[in-house]
Structure 1
Amino acid sequence: MSDEATFVITPGPADRTWISIRSYDNPDLYLRHQDSHLYAHHITDSPGRQDATFRICPGFA
Protein backbone atom coordinates (compact mmCIF):
# COMPACT_ATOMS: atom_id res chain seq x y z
CA MET A 1 0.00 0.00 0.00
CA SER A 2 1.27 3.46 -0.87
CA ASP A 3 1.88 5.89 1.99
CA GLU A 4 0.28 8.55 -0.23
CA ALA A 5 -3.08 6.84 0.31
CA THR A 6 -2.65 6.41 4.07
CA PHE A 7 -4.23 8.71 6.64
CA VAL A 8 -4.07 8.78 10.44
CA ILE A 9 -6.59 10.02 12.99
CA THR A 10 -5.24 12.80 15.20
CA PRO A 11 -6.75 15.29 17.67
CA GLY A 12 -8.61 18.06 15.85
CA PRO A 13 -6.79 21.38 15.30
CA ALA A 14 -9.91 23.39 16.24
CA ASP A 15 -11.00 21.15 19.16
CA ARG A 16 -8.63 18.57 20.64
CA THR A 17 -11.58 16.47 21.89
CA TRP A 18 -12.72 15.92 18.27
CA ILE A 19 -10.62 14.34 15.49
CA SER A 20 -8.83 15.20 12.27
CA ILE A 21 -7.71 12.93 9.46
CA ARG A 22 -4.11 13.74 8.51
CA SER A 23 -2.00 12.41 5.64
CA TYR A 24 0.63 9.90 6.78
CA ASP A 25 3.02 10.72 3.95
CA ASN A 26 2.54 14.51 4.13
CA PRO A 27 1.67 15.45 7.74
CA ASP A 28 0.76 19.03 6.73
CA LEU A 29 -2.23 17.79 4.67
CA TYR A 30 -5.59 17.28 6.40
CA LEU A 31 -8.91 16.11 5.04
CA ARG A 32 -11.31 19.02 5.27
CA HIS A 33 -14.91 19.47 4.21
CA GLN A 34 -15.78 22.31 1.91
CA ASP A 35 -19.08 22.71 0.04
CA SER A 36 -20.15 19.15 1.04
CA HIS A 37 -16.95 17.59 -0.40
CA LEU A 38 -13.76 16.26 1.20
CA TYR A 39 -10.39 17.64 0.11
CA ALA A 40 -6.80 17.13 1.26
CA HIS A 41 -5.55 20.65 2.04
CA HIS A 42 -2.82 22.39 3.93
CA ILE A 43 -4.49 24.03 6.93
CA THR A 44 -3.29 27.61 7.41
CA ASP A 45 -6.18 29.54 8.97
CA SER A 46 -9.05 29.30 11.46
CA PRO A 47 -11.73 28.32 8.90
CA GLY A 48 -9.43 25.56 7.66
CA ARG A 49 -8.92 24.26 11.22
CA GLN A 50 -12.70 24.22 11.71
CA ASP A 51 -13.27 22.41 8.40
CA ALA A 52 -10.61 19.78 9.26
CA THR A 53 -12.12 18.96 12.68
CA PHE A 54 -14.75 16.23 12.94
CA ARG A 55 -16.88 14.81 15.76
CA ILE A 56 -17.33 11.06 16.03
CA CYS A 57 -21.05 10.23 16.36
CA PRO A 58 -22.74 6.90 17.15
CA GLY A 59 -24.02 5.06 14.09
CA PHE A 60 -27.64 4.43 13.19
CA ALA A 61 -27.54 0.70 13.95
Structure 2
Amino acid sequence: MFIGFALVVLAIYLVLVEQLHNRRGVEGIRIIAAVAGSGLLLLLPAKVFLTLLLMKNKSK
Protein backbone atom coordinates (compact mmCIF):
# COMPACT_ATOMS: atom_id res chain seq x y z
CA MET A 1 0.00 0.00 0.00
CA PHE A 2 2.75 2.43 0.93
CA ILE A 3 4.74 1.63 -2.20
CA GLY A 4 1.70 2.41 -4.35
CA PHE A 5 1.17 5.72 -2.59
CA ALA A 6 4.86 6.55 -2.96
CA LEU A 7 4.71 5.86 -6.71
CA VAL A 8 1.70 8.13 -7.14
CA VAL A 9 3.48 10.89 -5.22
CA LEU A 10 6.58 10.31 -7.37
CA ALA A 11 4.49 10.73 -10.53
CA ILE A 12 3.11 14.02 -9.21
CA TYR A 13 6.66 15.12 -8.39
CA LEU A 14 7.82 14.25 -11.91
CA VAL A 15 5.07 16.40 -13.40
CA LEU A 16 5.17 19.41 -11.08
CA VAL A 17 8.82 19.72 -10.07
CA GLU A 18 10.91 17.96 -12.71
CA GLN A 19 8.68 18.99 -15.65
CA LEU A 20 9.56 15.66 -17.24
CA HIS A 21 6.80 15.92 -19.82
CA ASN A 22 8.34 19.16 -21.16
CA ARG A 23 11.94 17.97 -21.24
CA ARG A 24 11.45 14.49 -22.71
CA GLY A 25 8.20 14.91 -24.64
CA VAL A 26 6.20 11.76 -25.34
CA GLU A 27 8.76 9.56 -23.61
CA GLY A 28 8.39 11.63 -20.43
CA ILE A 29 4.62 11.30 -20.57
CA ARG A 30 4.99 7.53 -20.94
CA ILE A 31 7.30 7.38 -17.92
CA ILE A 32 4.92 9.43 -15.80
CA ALA A 33 1.94 7.32 -16.91
CA ALA A 34 3.79 4.09 -16.11
CA VAL A 35 4.79 5.29 -12.64
CA ALA A 36 1.30 6.60 -11.81
CA GLY A 37 -0.42 3.53 -13.27
CA SER A 38 1.72 1.08 -11.36
CA GLY A 39 1.14 3.05 -8.17
CA LEU A 40 -2.62 2.98 -8.66
CA LEU A 41 -2.47 -0.73 -9.45
CA LEU A 42 -0.64 -1.37 -6.19
CA LEU A 43 -3.25 0.66 -4.28
CA LEU A 44 -6.17 -1.48 -5.51
CA PRO A 45 -5.84 -4.33 -2.96
CA ALA A 46 -5.87 -1.82 -0.11
CA LYS A 47 -9.08 -0.25 -1.43
CA VAL A 48 -10.74 -3.66 -1.75
CA PHE A 49 -9.64 -4.60 1.77
CA LEU A 50 -10.98 -1.37 3.26
CA THR A 51 -14.28 -1.76 1.41
CA LEU A 52 -14.73 -5.31 2.71
CA LEU A 53 -13.79 -4.21 6.21
CA LEU A 54 -16.36 -1.39 6.15
CA MET A 55 -19.05 -3.72 4.79
CA LYS A 56 -18.29 -6.24 7.55
CA ASN A 57 -18.52 -3.58 10.27
CA LYS A 58 -21.73 -2.16 8.83
CA SER A 59 -23.46 -5.55 8.86
CA LYS A 60 -22.87 -6.00 12.61
TM-score by length of 2: 0.24
- Structure number, greater radius of gyration: 2
TM-score by length of 1: 0.24
More helix by share: 2
